[in-house]
């Protein structure tokens, strides 16, 4: 029987950023997060899908800001000063995700991710890649690649 090497053990732990949307807990891998910013007004993009709030200037780079609540079917967010934008890099594209608040940065064992319960919804299965139990809270892990893919499909239409 082989024992796990120190590299295997280190690979088993990942850091996640947990955040709230509509008082529900979600997270994404911190490897995608570039920074976390307070809400700033965005510039509207004509004919953009409903979940794209607009675009913002991040030190000379213009990037889209996506309402994660809309993407996840939880309703439209009316941005206020208390909201937060998580700047993430996915497949070399930078995007801002509007969320209600960032809760914590946690280190979790990748093996502790549980499958998303089968709710017969392809959209749920596509956007939520699994769940973690953090104390008594169920934290849903967002598949940011699917969110970005949705954005690209709408852009191509």
Name the strand (E) or helix (H) holding 69.
helix 68-71
Structural domain span for residue 46:
15-156
Q: Does residue 112 sit within a domain?
A: yes
Predicted confidence at residue 120, as pLDDT, reads 62
Q: How far apart are CA 125 and CA 109, in angstroms?
A: 21
pLDDT, average across residues 41-70:
94
C-alpha distances (whole Å) from 72 to each of 33, 52, 127, 150, 155 are 19, 13, 7, 11, 18
Say whether pLDDT at 2 is over 60: no
**How many domains, the chain?**
1
pLDDT band for 155, please (50, 70, 90 cuts): low
Residue 18 pairs in a beta bridge with 27, 104
Higher pLDDT, 74 or 152: 74
Q: Does residue 7 sit within a domain?
A: no
Say whether pLDDT at 146 is over 90: no
Q: How far apart are CA 70 and CA 35, in angstroms?
A: 21
| pLDDT tens readout for residues 3-39 | 666 666 656 899 999 999 999 999 999 999 999 999 9
- What are the E-state strand segments in the chain? 13-21, 24-29, 33-38, 52-58, 61-67, 84-90, 93-99, 101-109, 128-134, 137-142
pLDDT more than 90, % of the chain: 69
pLDDT band for 104, please (50, 70, 90 cuts): very high
| pLDDT tens readout for residues 71-101 | 888 999 999 999 999 999 998 999 999 999 9
Q: Does residue 114 sit within a domain?
A: yes
Find the CATH number of the domain harbouring 91.
2.40.50.180
DSSP 8-state code for residue 112: G
Q: Does residue 23 sit within a domain?
A: yes
Q: Does residue 10 sit within a domain?
A: no
């Amino acid at each position: 029987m082989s024992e796990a090497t120190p590299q295997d053990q280190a690979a088993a732990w990942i850091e996640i950023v947990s955040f709230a949307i509509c008082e529900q807990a979600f997270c994404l891998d911190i490897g995608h997060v570039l920074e976390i910013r307070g809400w700033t007004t965005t510039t509207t993009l004509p004919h953009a899908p409903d979940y794209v709030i607009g675009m913002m200037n991040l030190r000379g780079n213009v990037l889209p800001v996506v309402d994660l609540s809309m993407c996840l079917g939880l309703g439209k967010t009316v941005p206020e000063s208390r909201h937060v934008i998580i700047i993430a890099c996915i497949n070399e594209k930078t995007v801002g995700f509007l969320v209600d608040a960032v809760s914590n940065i946690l280190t979790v064992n990748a093996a502790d991710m549980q499958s998303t319960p089968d709710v017969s919804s392809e959209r749920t299965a596509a956007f939520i890649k699994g769940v973690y139990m953090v104390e008594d809270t169920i934290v849903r892990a967002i598949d940011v690649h699917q969110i970005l893919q949705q954005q690209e499909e709408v852009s191509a239409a």
